[in-house]
Amino acid sequence: MPVTIKDVAAAAGVSQSTVSRALSTPDLVNPGTRARVQAVARELGYQPNRAARGLITGRTANLGLIVPDLANPLFAAVVKGVQAAARAADYSVFIADTDEDASTEPGLLRALAKQVDGIVLCSPRSPDAELTEVGADTPVVLMNRQVPGYPAVTVDNADGMRQAVEHLAALGHRRIAYVAGPRSSWSNGQREHGLRVTTGALGVDLVHLGHFPPRFDGGVAAADLALACGATAVVAYNDIVALGLLSRLGARGVAVPDRISVLGCDDIPMSAMTHPALTTVSVPQHEAGRAAVAMLLALLADTGPVTTHRDLPTQLTVRATTGVAPDPEPGTADRSR
Amino acid sequence: MPVTIKDVAAAAGVSQSTVSRALSTPDLVNPGTRARVQAVARELGYQPNRAARGLITGRTANLGLIVPDLANPLFAAVVKGVQAAARAADYSVFIADTDEDASTEPGLLRALAKQVDGIVLCSPRSPDAELTEVGADTPVVLMNRQVPGYPAVTVDNADGMRQAVEHLAALGHRRIAYVAGPRSSWSNGQREHGLRVTTGALGVDLVHLGHFPPRFDGGVAAADLALACGATAVVAYNDIVALGLLSRLGARGVAVPDRISVLGCDDIPMSAMTHPALTTVSVPQHEAGRAAVAMLLALLADTGPVTTHRDLPTQLTVRATTGVAPDPEPGTADRSR
DNA sequence: GTTGGTGCTGAAAAGGATTGCAAGAACTTC
DNA sequence: GAAGTTCTTGCAATCCTTTTCAGCACCAAC
């Protein structure tokens, strides 16, 4: 039988109201009583009943987080960031996983909406309309996705691609292949865009391959195409796909980066552990998780205007899978101009 | 403003009690009224307020899950298993991550205990005493750990090691190294035990290396020791460590499995993707997660006796990192006997 | 000596559901 | 036809907090 506010009130010789105030709005009670009440509460190990509090305040002190796939290390980072920020503000978080299936998103969203004060929706795959429906009654902050009028935290994918292309161009690559991710991925769209712009500006050829599933076997499947299309460098939608590329290239005995350079995106922990270690665009997903929660809490607090969009910088992390472009073989010569 | 039970009652022309019963104990109400009430409830989109229900029933319909590290794909599988089973029973789950730091476990456990009906505690690193303290008021089911008197779901690590050793012995290996994991890991203890028993029975030498941190770099660090100790096969505490071993062996130009065989444990997705693909002991963590929730729910339901221990089978998955033992080099000859 | 604050406290009303109790209706059964 | 069951249903209490409102005491100012 847990200790209630009534027990504390009795033990301290005051009313329940005073106990409640002493603990949640200390300014309103006489310093003497306040100290006594707090001491008694601590001594008895009193913890307010969250259900009772929630019933009257209408708040649950819970947040929701929806990610496409918990097994993807990228989202593990998001989860940790969200958890950290939530815990700091005394919120708990419910986590749900859509298993990369867009059709489960609306249902999960609705189910979660009932029991949380706000939701962080990470990399949703559903069309805009489905998302805005729930956003109407429960505050939702988007991650890795932008929908007009909705608060969002994104990372600057396009700039990451700019850095990647400039890096490759500086190494002499004149023809780059992109292994595209899911059509429904907003990030993929951003990356394609960034690639198009920078390759265009630098006069580098861009070959679009895919779309492929954002998994290891997607990369495996794409490797042969990348090799055949005459590119000397491949940029993958994400690191997992890049790892698949490396695996298949290794199996075919293709030297990386001597014959072909490979570049990933996300910088998951595994990327630093391969041989050769993967050059990749680091995206601050942990930080993005924190930022999303901060934005959500600001929205909930409802005190003044809130920054409703943050775009976090990305950064190229050069490791060992990118190198100087091979000399054009005789016959395939001068592709520039 | 959400629709309450009062709204439904008014719309259906009955009392709140009848609405409550029609939805939660349908047998107690007349089929006619029941149908009408249910229809109205559905039409109005009525969802009982969980806080209000929890206040009176004393139940939260939430479960807690504590894992050492969400970024570890092994625990991602646990999470998915737990989620699936919980959702099926209409429970939501709070997830917490200790970041492999045993000292945060008791605090998290206590914090979680207040807001859930039961907790699944996966691979705890704390000493028994710390764990039993919380177990007193909140039902706790352990995973990958046994504490006398506490319900638990485990996997048969010892038998997995038996399969591993028999496999290696059949390939002609007579000297096996084990790269040990954390001292505080119960699974590690079980694995060591299984190895000792089976190598003893088969007359195979067992070299104990470590303890090493259960990370990629732990494996990297262990590789040179394994090579130097004269073993022709290495069993790693888990797949991540095995991947580290492979990486370092590859960097040193040591042929796997020709010169030395490598065997992991857990069968994380990454293991099938390396070159060569990792031979490993598969542990059914997804299934274990489901089982732990089933046990917890049975405990909560409090209807009759409950199986308080399940031990799930493990299975050797042979891939490409284990092969026939190399011929003993001249001079190092006859090690048997 | 009244009036008007200010500070602190307690009584009581929510908040939305569940559930024990009792009453009325409908049926048996003698 | 009366008494006793069995079904249904509604009333009202209860869960634990927060929060409004009013009251009391005390002090300053006129």
Question: What average pLDDT score do residues A94-115 get?
Answer: 88
User: Mean pLDDT, chain A, as a whole number?
Assistant: 92
Q: Is the pLDDT of residue A133 over 80?
A: no
Question: What average pLDDT score do residues B284-309 get?
Answer: 91
User: Mean pLDDT, chain B, as a whole number?
Assistant: 91
Determine whether the distance from the CB of B52 to the nearest atom of strand D is below 7 Å: yes
Question: What average pLDDT score do residues B47-56 get?
Answer: 93
Question: What average pLDDT score do residues A101-106 get?
Answer: 88
Domains and CATH numbers, chain A: 5-48 (1.10.260), 62-154+285-311 (3.40.50.2300), 157-283 (3.40.50.2300)
Question: What average pLDDT score do residues A109-127 get?
Answer: 90
Question: What average pLDDT score do residues B84-104 get?
Answer: 91
Summarised one tens digit per residue, pLDDT across range B188-200 is 999 999 999 999 9
Residues of B in contact with A95 (CB under 8 A): 79, 83, 93, 95
Which residues on adjacent β-strands are paired with residue A316? A281
pLDDT at A235: 98
Q: How far is CA B315 from CA A301, B144, B170, B180, in A?
A: 52, 16, 17, 20
Residue found under tokens 């995106």: A265
In whole angstroms, give the CA distance from residue A142 to residue A335.
43
Please count the residue pairs, one from chain A and one from chain B, whose beta carbons lie less than 8 angstroms apart.
Answer: 82
End-to-end Cα spacing for chain A: 81
Interchain proximity A114–B47, CB inside 8 Å? yes
Q: Using 50, 70 and 90 to split pLDDT, how confident is the model at B329? A: low
Question: What average pLDDT score do residues B293-316 get?
Answer: 91
Q: Using 50, 70 and 90 to split pLDDT, how confident is the model at A329? A: low
Q: What percent of chain B is predicted at pLDDT more than 70?
A: 97
Question: What average pLDDT score do residues A241-248 get?
Answer: 95
Interchain proximity B76–A76, CB inside 8 Å? yes
A312 touches A291 (CB < 8 A): yes
Question: What average pLDDT score do residues B317-327 get?
Answer: 94
User: B271: distance to nearest CA of chain A, Å?
Assistant: 12
Question: What average pLDDT score do residues B13-36 get?
Answer: 93
pLDDT at A330: 53
Long-range own/partner contacts, residues B221-227 (CB < 8 A, 24 or more apart): B222/B179, B223/B247, B223/B248, B223/B249, B223/B252, B224/B248, B224/B252, B225/B177, B226/B177, B226/B179, B226/B260, B227/B252, B227/B254, B227/B260
DSSP B67: E
Q: Is the pLDDT of residue A314 over 70?
A: yes
Question: What average pLDDT score do residues A44-68 get?
Answer: 93
Query: Lowest-pLDDT range, A63-67, A123-127, A262-266?
Result: A123-127
In whole angstroms, give the CA distance from residue A101 to residue A28.
51
pLDDT at A335: 43
Q: Is the pLDDT of residue B277 over 90?
A: yes
In whole angstroms, give the CA distance from residue A98 to residue A108.
8
Kind of pairing, strands B152-155 and B140-143?
parallel
Summarised one tens digit per residue, pLDDT across range B105-137 is 888 888 888 889 999 999 998 888 887 777 677
pLDDT at A149: 86
- 10 Å CB burial of residue B321 (0-12, 13-18, 19+) is buried
Residues of B in contact with A49 (CB under 8 A): 55
Protein-contacted bases of chain D (C-beta within 7 A): 7-12, 14-20
Q: Is the pLDDT of residue B168 over 90?
A: yes
- What is the spatial distance, in angstroms and rounded to an integer, between the CA atom of B53 and the C1' atom of C13? 20
Interchain proximity A71–B96, CB inside 8 Å? no
SS3 sequence, B138-203? CCEEEECCCCCCCCEEEECHHHHHHHHHHHHHHCCCCEEEEECCCCCCHHHHHHHHHHHHHHHHHC
- What is the spatial distance, in angstroms and rounded to an integer, between the CA atom of A31 and the C1' atom of C6? 16
Which residues from B are below 8 Å from A when comparing CB atoms? 47, 49-52, 54-55, 60, 70-71, 73, 76-77, 79-80, 83, 92-97, 114-115, 216, 243-244, 247, 250-251, 269-270, 273-275
Could you count the other beta carbons within 10 Å of the beta carbon of residue A337? 5
Interchain proximity A60–B70, CB inside 8 Å? no
Residues of A in contact with B47 (CB under 8 A): 114
B interface mutation test: which of A115, A220, A239 has the most B CBs within 10 A?
A115
- More confidently predicted of B208 and A127: B208
**Which residue lies nearest D18, CA-to-C1' measured?**
A56
Residues of B in contact with A80 (CB under 8 A): 70-71, 97
Question: What average pLDDT score do residues B315-336 get?
Answer: 76
